[in-house]
A and B are shown apart, each in its own frame.
Chain A
């Protein structure tokens, strides 16, 4: 075979082992990290930050669930409970899930996959990181100085009249938006201009397609959130008369502005998750991915149609029947590209010789959980059903199945997939699988119950409930402990590996994309020489799986 990719073993033997980006003698000390423009180091710093946010947001979640063990006040009153779920939601959405995959894993992997030395604008990347840190500090400050009890959606008129640190929190969201925009601009320009020679649009790995579609949404939707937050602060501070009905404003206008960003934002959250799944499944099935173009283009379709469905959050807010019907129809439409992806992944796995290593275990969990999350989205998109289910635990369960069961599970799968590449170390495979199993079981215990409660009328955002719901609520709380335990075990497993020797081969899973063609961890300039592309990604017929792959 003429155009077999050089196996990494041959490759490194050719050039010898180079100092990697973590131990590069030219870039040493804390300062070299603080002002680094290396996309890999920025990705790693982002990773520690989003993991910290995930931890804090997770603690609030456990508190919320604990309060719900019994009806009535256990250890939080209504006021404190409102703050707890608001902080949980705001931290999880703005500090964790939106930056998680693109800014942490994407930053690290995307340029490597393109065969590039860095992103297009390395200094903008650094700025994005520090703007994120600034926004995070503001968010934490708002918790300390007064708390926020509006819910992560900041709906008016409550948000313009309640006390607490709403202004600080919304300004933090504004600042975080810039960080997201910077990342988006960077990735779009990088994908357009820094592809390796010979890498056409349809030779891009699907992870790149997903992150590219995400970046477009980040650029086009986030400014609207920015101006919405500014208007909200103005209304709170100066009574400008836009959202407050008492002075002639329109509170529903806020909902439109908010969801014009936040519905596309749910695709900022899920597309990167789908992007990871599109890498893991072919690698562990040793199969050329089925329907490459459909998966690639469905990301773009989701990104575009996703801008037209925001009204499905306002079916019960007095939308005209015509508008509601149109939004409902478009909501059904946007589910089609997601379905296309799921079927293509399953077709890839059909009759393949699948190896169920930890990343693949997460990917299969994703298929199931995202399937449930997506299908229940269709329920909610149906007008008559949504009147019954709106603002109940059914909605809570739906979005946790997509955000946690989808994105977070994919993020964990991606972490386990690229951990050897990022840090050069293998983690304990059996512990990884056990953790994944606990996460899967705990997650379903926590949230499957909430579909039942919601359909029976349990409203969301209350610290107390009717006695009839207690068994399911308690079961859900027990589930949250199993879930928490699974996540802790996964964290200890990954972190523990960092203390071991750098034992990861360049391509431990037999992946076909370019990031596996450089050593683990990569050198500061990513590749020795300029890699070029001689075959399509996932082309296992022309790819020799290296002998040291697991």
Chain B
């Protein structure tokens, strides 16, 4: 009749005998089990990804509407983007997604440290490709800045193919790739954190939630780029 299951009393330090498995160092006290904790975190991450999609979604809708309004300017603008660099970056991110999958696989199968090496190597590779992406972006941006192909009132390009409202294209180009770039930088920070904790041996098949979640985030960052690339570089 009472509501209390005495076995799970925690206030009195009275842990039941079958609670040994509850003592994983990363188990938070308000979750009954590690699985519950993992599932909750995963829901949280998916919701966060949904907010990211909607955030970028606003920019995509704005881009679409402005493109239909100023289609000539958008086509002229896109000729200034280097599709080869864009394609290279697409490859970087695709490969990094693969290495991230490998890292998650290694972490989830890491028993007694037997996949430790694979985990750390793949995280380092992911970080490397992300860095490569940013380097390429740096060169692309420098080139645009040099030509005066800048957003809004900073636009001062004067070449022969200048079309009215071309600055709108570059406003969107910089906002969309810029916001995406910040997400790549954020991802690099998160992956660095994963590397440090992996080196400490924190991630095993019993507990690899952060690797799994940041992996999901990283795939989303890649996915958004997969949409950005054709939208910005390949329009006709």
Contact = CB atoms under 8 A, between A and B. Distances in A.
A14 B3 CA distance: 11
Contact of B5 (A223, A240, A241, A529): A529
B41 to A, nearest CB: 8
Interface in A112-137: 116-118, 120-122, 124
B116 to A, nearest CB: 28
A194 B30 CA distance: 9
Given A3-B1, A529-B3, A531-B4, A219 B30 contact: no
Point out which of A184, A190, A224, A227 has the most chain B C-beta atoms below 10 A from its C-beta.
Answer: A227
B54 to A, nearest CB: 4
Nearest to B70: A248
A223 B30 contact: no
A185 B48 contact: yes
Contact of A5 (B3, B41, B43): B3
A434 interface: no
A15 B11 CA distance: 11
A18 to B, nearest CB: 7
Interface in A81-111: none
A525 interface: yes
Given A223-B54, A234-B171, A18 B30 contact: no
A223 B51 contact: yes
Contacts of A193: 31, 36, 39-40, 43
Interface in B173-214: 175
A6 B171 contact: no
Contacts of A257: 58, 62
Contacts of B21: none
A141 interface: no
A38 to B, nearest CB: 10
Given A4-B1, A11-B3, A223-B58, A238 B171 contact: yes
Interface in A472-521: 517
Contact of B43 (A15, A124, A192): A192
Interface string B13-29: 00000000000000011
Nearest to A257: B58
Contacts of B1: 2-4, 6
A240 B3 contact: no
A357 interface: no
A192 B42 CA distance: 11
Nearest to A227: B58
A194 B55 contact: no
A504 B40 CA distance: 35
A351 to B, nearest CB: 31
A188 interface: yes
A258 to B, nearest CB: 11
A193 to B, nearest CB: 4
Given A525-B11, A528-B4, A234 B51 contact: no
Interface residues of B, number: 48
B30 A117 contact: yes
B40 A241 contact: no
A253 interface: yes
B128 interface: no
A533 to B, nearest CB: 9
Interface string A375-405: 0000000000000000000000000000000
A242 B4 contact: no
B43 A189 contact: yes
Contact of A240 (B9, B47, B164, B171): B171
B2 interface: yes
Interface in B122-179: 151-154, 164-165, 167-168, 171-172, 175
B80 interface: no
Nearest to A18: B11
B50 interface: yes
B152 A530 contact: no
Nearest to A184: B47
A532 interface: yes
A532 B32 CA distance: 13
A228 interface: yes
B9 A181 contact: no
Contact of A226 (B36, B43, B55): B55
B165 A241 contact: yes
A122 B29 CA distance: 11
Contact of B168 (A221, A248, A528): A248
A239 interface: yes
B169 to A, nearest CB: 9
A525 B13 CA distance: 13
Point out which of B69, B164, B172 has the most chain A C-beta atoms below 10 A from its C-beta.
Answer: B69
A222 interface: yes
B44 interface: yes
Nearest to A531: B3
Interface in A189-216: 189-190, 192-194
A189 B47 CA distance: 9
A93 to B, nearest CB: 20
Contacts of A240: 151-152, 167-168, 171-172, 175
Point out which of B39, B54, B56 has the most chain A C-beta atoms below 10 A from its C-beta.
Answer: B54
Contact of A250 (B36, B55, B69, B151): B69
A329 interface: no
Contacts of B165: 241, 247-248
A510 to B, nearest CB: 17
Nearest to A221: B54
26 contacts: A5-B3, A11-B2, A11-B4, A118-B30, A121-B40, A122-B30, A185-B48, A193-B31, A193-B36, A219-B47, A223-B51, A223-B54, A223-B57, A227-B54, A231-B62, A234-B151, A234-B175, A238-B151, A240-B171, A241-B165, A241-B167, A242-B62, A253-B62, A529-B5, A531-B3, A531-B4
Kindly list the 10 A-B residue pairs having the minimum CB-CB distance in the complex, ordered from nearest: A529-B4, A227-B58, A238-B152, A240-B171, A223-B54, A117-B30, A193-B40, A241-B168, A118-B30, A240-B152
Interface of A: 2-6, 11, 14-15, 18, 116-118, 120-122, 124, 181, 184-186, 188-190, 192-194, 219-224, 226-228, 231, 234, 238-242, 247-250, 253, 257, 517, 523, 525, 527-532
Interface of B: 1-6, 8-11, 28-32, 36, 39-41, 43-44, 47-48, 50-52, 54-59, 62, 65-66, 69-70, 151-154, 164-165, 167-168, 171-172, 175
Given A238-B151, A242-B66, 17 more contacts: A3-B1, A18-B11, A120-B40, A120-B43, A121-B40, A122-B28, A181-B51, A189-B44, A193-B39, A227-B57, A234-B175, A238-B152, A240-B172, A241-B171, A248-B164, A532-B3, A532-B5
